[in-house]
Amino acid sequence: MPRALRPQGTPPKTLDQFARRFGFTGPATDADVAVHGVTLSTGDIRQGDLFVGAAGNRQHGAVFAAKARSGGAVAVLTDKAGARLAQPSGLPVLVADDPRSTLGQLSAWLYGTESRAPRLFGVTGTNGKTSTVHLLEAILVQLGVRAGLSSTAERHVAGTSIVSGLTTPEATELHGLLARMVEEQVEAAAIEVSAQGLTKGRVEGIDFDVAGFTNLSHDHLDDYGDMRNYLLAKATLFQPGRARSAVVSLDSGWGTEIHRLAGVPVTTISSRPDVAADWHVEITAAEPRGVAFTLNSAGGETLSTRLPVIGGHMAANAGLAIAMLVEGGYELSRIATALEEGIDVYIPGRSERISGPSGPAVFVDFGHSPDAFANTLDAVRQVTEGKVIMVFGADGDRDATKRSAMAEAAVLGSDVLIVTDHHPRFEDPTSIRAVLIEAALEADPNHETIEVPNPKLAIRAAVRLAAEGDSILWAGPGHQDYRDIEGVHVPYSARYEARSALQEAGWYPGAETDLRSDLRAQNHAVHEAHG
């Protein structure tokens, strides 16, 4: 992955200062060694770094201490077991009982974010997190605010952008990012907060000005066991010390429970007219190139605007973003004026239309849950005169309990279904497809369901089946530029393959500019994969 965005000038702290501040066992010598940065990743080591060697699922991070030293690390923070593993590196070692649990406070202290940070908006939920944080940033920019962002897709600091790794970066990276924002005079930032980010301490040391909740649906039960535990992981964001206030969508039933569990003041919002809420989102137009909506407050205030992305669920995300900004101190009248001509936003790989002016409409989307499939298919159906063709696969080595429900949602929302491979990881892709095909046929034995293992061929099969007025939804890859096959990130772009398939079929004349851009992204992925 690209190197993380960090501050360019951090006042150093000595190992002795670390030891005294956090109660670490310090080195017998080298107490005055100066530390300028901190990281868990040997791929992001910079000169003067403190390398954190934490225990992992497969091996202990301290085994990479020598590699960290060669990259410029000047010391190691680890546990007692890691101290023995790090000893051959020759680096001075700080020892903590649980190094990972200290990283948020440690990074905030080192980078200065415990006292200086932009106005922060944090968004959690199953679906819509990425879209909402990109909408928050886009609206802030239209307000004339210098803004930043951290999402599943990208990290932004005042116009500088890198591709993301984890949805919510490790605390070391996140605090470094916030410190870079301070350096760049960023006034406000939107941060995507995953359940794993909350339970694994990645947002420790951060107090969001406003937290937002989109929805909750079947996902990540391999990590949390059941929906209640998954909910409780999300609910921790809405407590004092994590956030100061919140805006909660009541579109999913779990929103009411988040509201009940919240320990901070909550404002509610819904796009459902039958639900009582402080804000309501009303769809006023659904078109092939976007959606228009009106946001109404309980006090009688209104805002009308439009999005260049299809779907009522996207309007709901935009409404949430606007309500969060109002809660964060930006006046609704000012926002309404800025958005009179629409929200100028690009959301990578979320209901992203990549087709040309003629032929079938083709959308790529990152959705990988039953609820995401249902919402996006409904949005595509509303703007499609002909048939809806869906292409999708399921993640290997991830929550297998949702696969049948994904296939059922795909069948119910499409006219033709093509099942392909996605990220098999270390799982047999044939067995993944078999579960999806079986569930699809069980949902509707007469539904046209086709199995095409190779996704490059699957999208071409979809294009061959499509005519003018039809739509193709390729769900799963979205913005990603690789496929995970047995632990190897194989460079791959759904945008490039879909546009190539359209051009080969004669549907996308003049696609060369877009294809060159897609190919540059693929080549960048090759470069990153090979260092």
- pLDDT averaged over every residue in the chain: 92
Question: Please, which pLDDT band fits residue 531 given cuts at 50, 70 and 90?
Answer: very low
Model confidence at 3: pLDDT above 60: yes
Question: Please, which pLDDT band fits residue 169 given cuts at 50, 70 and 90?
Answer: confident
In angstroms, the first-to-last Cα distance of the chain is 9
Is residue 85 left, alpha or beta, with left meaning phi > 0 and alpha meaning psi from -120 to 50? alpha
Give the residue-averaged pLDDT of 339-365: 93
Write down the pLDDT at residue 412.
Answer: 97
- Name the percent of the chain lying above pLDDT 90: 81
Contact status, residue 151 vs residue 129, Cβ threshold 8 Å = yes
Q: Is 314 exposed, middle or buried (0-12, 13-18, 19+ CB in 10 A)?
A: buried
Residue of 113 and 158 predicted with greater confidence = 113
Question: Please, which pLDDT band fits residue 98 given cuts at 50, 70 and 90?
Answer: very high
Top-ranked range on mean pLDDT: pick from 5-14, 220-229, 312-321: 312-321
Residues in a beta bridge with 523: none
Give the residue-averaged pLDDT of 358-382: 92
Task: Mean pLDDT check: name the lowest of 379-388, 443-452, 507-516.
Answer: 507-516
Strand order in the sheet with 210-213: 160-163, 154-157, 147-150, 188-192, 119-124, 210-213, 246-249, 266-270, 279-287, 290-297, 302-307
Model confidence at 1: pLDDT above 50: no
Question: Please, which pLDDT band fits residue 509 given cuts at 50, 70 and 90?
Answer: low
Task: Mean pLDDT check: name the lowest of 2-16, 113-127, 235-249, 501-515.
Answer: 501-515
Write down the pLDDT at residue 526.
Answer: 42
Nearest to 424 by CA among 396, 452, 403, 401: 396
| DSSP secondary structure code for residue 298 in this structure | T
CATH topology for the 13-111 domain: 3.40.1390
Nearest to 124 by CA among 247, 226, 267: 247
Pairwise CA distance, residues 68 & 75, whole Å:
9
Tokens, residue 415 = 């006219």
Angle in degrees, 0-180, between the axes of helices 494-504 and 455-465, rounded to the nearest 10: 40
Write down the pLDDT at residue 223.
Answer: 76
Beta carbons within 8 Å of 268's beta carbon, 6+ residues apart: 247, 248, 249, 250, 255, 259, 277, 278, 279
Beta carbons within 8 Å of 460's beta carbon, 6+ residues apart: 501, 504, 505
Burial string for 81-120 (b: 16+ CB within 10 Å, else e) reads: ebbebbeebebbbbbbeebbebbbbbbbbbbbbbeebbbb
The pLDDT tens digits for 459-503 are 999 999 999 999 999 998 888 888 999 989 899 899 999 999 999
β-bridge pairing 93-95 and 119-124: unpaired
- Residue 505 corresponds to which amino acid? A
Write down the pLDDT at residue 78.
Answer: 97
Domain definitions of the chain by residue range:
13-111, 119-338, 352-529
Give the residue-averaged pLDDT of 299-311: 96
Contact status, residue 38 vs residue 210, Cβ threshold 8 Å = no
Nearest to 40 by CA among 113, 106, 87: 106
The pLDDT tens digits for 205-262 are 999 999 999 999 877 677 788 989 999 999 999 999 999 999 999 999 899 999 999 9
Strand order in the sheet with 448-451: 352-353, 361-365, 471-475, 388-392, 416-419, 448-451
Give the residue-averaged pLDDT of 70-81: 97
Pairwise CA distance, residues 49 & 68, whole Å:
9
Write down the pLDDT at residue 165.
Answer: 74
Write down the pLDDT at residue 515.
Answer: 58
HEC profile of 177-235: HHHHHHHCCCCEEEEECCHHHHHCCCCCCCCECEEEECCCCCCCHHHHCCHHHHHHHHH
Residue of 435 and 166 predicted with greater confidence = 435
CATH annotation of 352-529: 3.90.190.20
Strand order in the sheet with 93-95: 37-39, 49-53, 75-78, 93-95
The pLDDT tens digits for 23-65 are 999 887 799 999 999 999 999 999 999 999 999 888 999 999 9
Model confidence at 295: pLDDT above 90: yes
Pairwise CA distance, residues 309 & 315, whole Å:
9
DSSP 271-282: S-TTS--SEEEE
Write down the pLDDT at residue 235.
Answer: 96
Model confidence at 160: pLDDT above 90: no
Contact status, residue 394 vs residue 483, Cβ threshold 8 Å = no
Is residue 87 left, alpha or beta, with left meaning phi > 0 and alpha meaning psi from -120 to 50? alpha
Model confidence at 186: pLDDT above 70: yes
Q: Which residue, chain included where needed, has tokens 């909408």?
A: 135
β-bridge pairing 246-249 and 210-213: parallel
Write down the pLDDT at residue 472.
Answer: 97
CATH annotation of 119-338: 3.40.1190.10
Assessment of whether the complete model's pTM goes beyond 0.85? yes
Write down the pLDDT at residue 518.
Answer: 59
